[in-house]
Amino acid sequence: MSVEAELQESVNYTPLQRMRHSAAHVMAEAVQEIFPEALFSIGPAIEDGFYYDFDLPRPLTPEDLPEIEQHMQKIVAAGYPFLHDRWPREKALEYFGNKGQVYKVEIIENLPDAEVGIYRQNNFLDLCRGPHVQNTSQIGPFKLMRVAGAYWRGDEHRPMLQRIYGTAWFSQEELDQYLWQLEEAQKRDHRKLGRELKLFTLSDELPAGVPMFYPRGEMLRHLMESYVRETQERYGYQHVWTSHVGKVHLYKTSKHWYTYRENMFPIMKGEQELTEDDAYILKPMNCPHHILLYKSQMHSYRELPVRYAEFATLYRYEKAGVLTGLARVRSLTQDDAHVFMRPDQIQEEFDRAVNLTLEVFETYGLTDYWIRLSLRDPQKKGEYVGSDEVWEMAEATLRGAVEGKGIRYEEGIGEAAFYGPKVDFMVRDALGREWQCSTIQLDFIQPENFELEYIGEDGQAHRPVMIHRAVTGSTERFMAMLIEHFAGAFPVWLSPVQAIIIPIADRHQEYAQSVFEQLKAVGVRAEIDMRGERMNAKIRDAQLQKFPYMLVVGDKEAAAEAVSVRLRTNIDLKSMPLTQFIERILQISNTKSKEL
C-alpha cells in the first residue's frame, strides 16, 4: 500500500484504530523529545496496533523502548488535546521544508489536494488526515513491541527507516490477553516445534525456502496426504502425476508467463541452445499440465466431469524476505485438483468441492472458518484475461453457489486470479489467527486458451468449464498451521509417533521389543526409549515430545503381558493388558477421534 493510500485509509478508522493512530502520534512526540533531530515519515494504525517510521541519528535497540514508553506515559497523562487544522500546500511545504522533514515534503508533493490536514498535540505537529481521539488521556493501555527496518515507500533503493511497532487497547485486560496470545504463539511457533519434535529442518547448504523432513516429519506429511487422497477418491477424483518441469511455451499459452513471471524460477537451458518457447522451467503450477492430460484424449459429454488430482511439488521464487519456515517456501507440495465439466455441472461440482473441504476441516477439528469471495477489480480490467461477459457470468455463478451453502463470506475486490474468480477458506486456529487454506477457483478462460473441447449430446464440439481446487493447499503451509494449532500435540491418528515404550530397566528391554513388534504388526506407530536414563526422565522427555501414549513396562507388565499407560497430559491410566491397549488405540486412530 502506498503512503498516500495509507493516509486516505486513515479517514475510515474504527474507534479502536483511531485510538491506536493517536498512540502513534504520541509515540512520535516521545521520539522527538529524545531525538530532536529525528525525521518522520508515516504512523498508521494496523491490525493489532500501530507503528511509526523514523530516520534517526543512531540505530535503536530494545533497551530504548522503555524510555520511549515513559515519555509516552507522561504525554498521555497530561491530556493534551488533538488540534486539527487545514493548511495550504505551499504553507505545509514551507513549514516541513524549513524543518528538514524531507519525507513529509515528499508526501505533500504527491498529494493532489490544494490543502492538507495538520494535527497538533502539545509540542508535536504532524501531517495527517486524522481522525484522532479528543485528547491524549483517551489513549488506552499500550506497549511498544519491537523495532524493525522498513524501506521508505517499500523501495529497497530508498533509505532504510526504523519502524517502531506498538499495540494499544481499550482496557488492561485486553492488552494482557493480547500479550499472552503473543507469548503462546511464540511457544507454538512451528519453526521452534519443528526442531524440538524433529519434524523438519532448513539447511544453509540448500536454497532458502527448501525444507527437509526428518522421519517423523515425513510420516506427518504422509498421514496428511494419505487422508486427503483417500477422501478425494471417495468424492470421485482420480490421481495423476505430472513432471516437475515444463516448457515456457506451455505457460505462455496459459498466460501465467505474463502475469506470474517474477515468481517463476529462471529458465533452464537444455544440452543445446533452445528458443525461449522451448526452454525448460521448474513447474510453478499444475493447471497447464492437467489441461494437457485432458486435451490428450477425446471426451464425450457423458464422461464429464473429469476430476484430476495430484500431490505435486511446485517451485515458486518467493522473495527471501517473505520466507517463513514452512508457512512460505519456494518448494511446496499442493493437493491440487482440476475439474473439467459442462456448464450445467458448475453448481454440483462447486458443492462437491465445498463438501469435501468441510469434511476435511471437521476431521482436523477446524470449526472456525469463513469464505473470502475474490472478485475482479472493475477499475483494473487490464490485469485480467477474458471478456466482461465471461467474468460477469463466472462471478455471478460463484456468488450464487457460495450463498447457496449458507457459509459466512466476504467479498474481496481485486483478489481474483487473473483467469477467474475464486473462494478461499480462511481458517482460525486455536489462537484465533487466520490462515488461508483451501481454495476453489472457477475458470472459463483456460479452456479458451487451450481450445479444450468435449463432444456434446448434439454431436458438436463444446467448450468445458474448469474448477481449480485445493483442499488443504500447500502441504507445508497446512503442516505449519497444524503444528501451531495443536501446539505439536497432534491427535492420535495424526501423530507421527503414537506410543513410546519405556522399559524400566535393561532387563525389560526384551519385553519392550516384543510390545513394539506387536504394535507394529497392527499398524501402531511406536518407538522404544532404550536410553540408560531413569524412568521419570524418559517420561518427562516423552511428554516434551508430545507423544500421545507412554507405555511403561517392568517386571509386573512383562509377567502379565500388559503395559502401564500414561497420557501426555500426565493422566495415569494404570496397567492394562496389551490387547486392551491395542484395541483402544486402534479404535481412536481409525475413527480419527480427537480423544486420547
Q: What are phi and psi of 273, to 5 degrees?
A: -65, 130
Predicted TM-score (pTM) of the model is 0.84
- Rounded mean pLDDT, 480-494: 96
| Residue 310 in domain | yes
Q: Domain check: are 145 and 236 in the same one?
A: no
The Cα 202–Cα 330 span in angstroms is 12
| Residue 544 in domain | yes
Q: Domain check: are 463 and 567 in the same one?
A: no
- The cell 533452445 sits on which residue? 274
Q: Domain check: are 456 and 524 in the same one?
A: no
| Segments forming the whole domain that contains residue 350 | 215-244+281-485
- Rounded mean pLDDT, 421-432: 91
Q: Domain check: are 481 and 504 in the same one?
A: no
Q: What is the pLDDT of residue 10?
A: 53
Nearest to 194 by CA among 169, 221, 233, 172: 221
Q: Domain check: are 473 and 508 in the same one?
A: no
User: 278 in helix, strand or coil?
Assistant: coil
Nearest to 197 by CA among 431, 509, 483, 416: 483
Q: Which of 21, 376, 468, 546 is catalytic?
A: 468
Q: Domain check: are 26 and 79 in the same one?
A: yes
Give yes or no: 469 in active site: no
Q: What is the pLDDT of residue 272?
A: 58
| Residue 104 in domain | yes
Q: Which of 53, 64, 336, 443 is catalytic?
A: 336
Nearest to 584 by CA among 561, 558, 563, 553: 563
Q: Which of 283, 422, 508, 538 is catalytic?
A: 422
Q: Domain check: are 86 and 227 in the same one?
A: no
Residue 557: band (very low, low, confident or very high) from pLDDT cuts 50, 70, 90: very high
Q: Domain check: are 92 and 121 in the same one?
A: yes
The Cα 279–Cα 248 span in angstroms is 6
- Contact present, 5 and 154 (Cβ < 8 Å): no
Q: Which residue has the higher pLDDT, 494 or 390?
A: 494
Q: What is the pLDDT of residue 223?
A: 97
- Rounded mean pLDDT, 142-160: 94
Tens-digit pLDDT profile for residues 186-229:
999 999 999 999 999 999 899 899 999 999 999 999 999 999 99
Instruction: Based on DSSP, count helices (H) and strands (E) in the chain, helices before strands.
Output: 19, 27
Q: Domain check: are 287 and 425 in the same one?
A: yes
Tens-digit pLDDT profile for residues 49-69:
999 999 999 999 999 999 999
**DSSP class of 595:** -
Cell of 423: 473462494
- Contact present, 106 and 100 (Cβ < 8 Å): no
Q: Which residue has the higher pLDDT, 283 or 386?
A: 283
Q: Domain check: are 533 and 558 in the same one?
A: yes
Cell of 543: 511428554
Q: What is the pLDDT of residue 321?
A: 82
- Rounded mean pLDDT, 254-268: 87
| Residue 260 in domain | no
The Cα 42–Cα 28 span in angstroms is 10
Give yes or no: 422 in active site: yes
- Report CA torsion sign: 298, 300, 302, 305: positive
DSSP string, 74-110: HHHHHT-B-EEEEEEHHHHHHHHHHTT-HHHHHHHHT
> What interhelical angle do 578-590 and 509-521 show, nearest 10?
40
| Residue 275 in domain | no
What CATH number is associated with residue 516? Answer: 3.40.50.800
Q: Does residue 1 surpass a pLDDT of 50?
A: no
Q: Which of 188, 316, 376, 568 is catalytic?
A: 316
Q: Which of 21, 188, 338, 485 is catalytic?
A: 338
What CATH number is associated with residue 383? Answer: 3.30.930.10
Domains contained in the chain, number: 3
Q: What is the pLDDT of residue 246?
A: 92
Q: Domain check: are 220 and 180 in the same one?
A: no
Q: Which of 32, 101, 334, 498 is catalytic?
A: 334
Q: What is the pLDDT of residue 364?
A: 95
What CATH number is associated with residue 17? Answer: 3.30.980.10
Give yes or no: 21 in active site: no
Q: Domain check: are 236 and 173 in the same one?
A: no
